[in-house]
Amino acid sequence: MHPDGEKIVLTEEEIGKRVRAMGEEISRDYQGKEILCVGILKGAMVFLADLVRRITAPAQFDFMAVSSYGASTRTSGVVRILKDLDRGIEGRHVLIVEDIVDTGLTLNYLVENLKSRGPASLNVCAFLDKPSRRLAPVDIHYNGFTIPDEFVVGYGLDYNESYRNLPYIMVLRPEVYGKGK
Ligand code: PRP
Q: Is the CB of 101 under 6 A from ligand 1?
A: yes
Q: Is the CB of 129 under 6 A from ligand 1?
A: no
Would 96 be classed as within a structural domain?
Answer: yes
Would 104 be classed as within a structural domain?
Answer: yes
Q: What pLDDT is stored for residue 79 in this prediction?
A: 86
Q: What pLDDT is stored for residue 181 in this prediction?
A: 47
CA 49 remoteness from chain centre: 12
Check: pTM over 0.85? Answer yes or no.
yes
Would 175 be classed as within a structural domain?
Answer: no
Would 167 be classed as within a structural domain?
Answer: no
Would 4 be classed as within a structural domain?
Answer: no
Q: Is the CB of 136 under 6 A from ligand 1?
A: no
Task: CATH number of the domain at 84, please.
Answer: 3.40.50.2020
Would 165 be classed as within a structural domain?
Answer: no
Q: What pLDDT is stored for residue 146 in this prediction?
A: 98
Number of domains in the chain: 1
Range of the domain at 32: 12-150
Would 160 be classed as within a structural domain?
Answer: no
Q: What pLDDT is stored for residue 71 in this prediction?
A: 57
Q: Which atom of ligand 1 is nearest to the CA of 136?
A: 12
Would 5 be classed as within a structural domain?
Answer: no
Q: List per-residue pLDDT tens for the chain, 181 residues long.
A: 999 999 999 999 999 999 999 999 999 999 999 999 999 999 999 999 999 999 999 999 999 999 876 655 556 667 899 999 999 999 999 999 999 999 999 999 999 999 999 999 999 999 999 999 999 999 999 999 999 999 999 999 999 999 999 999 999 999 998 865 4
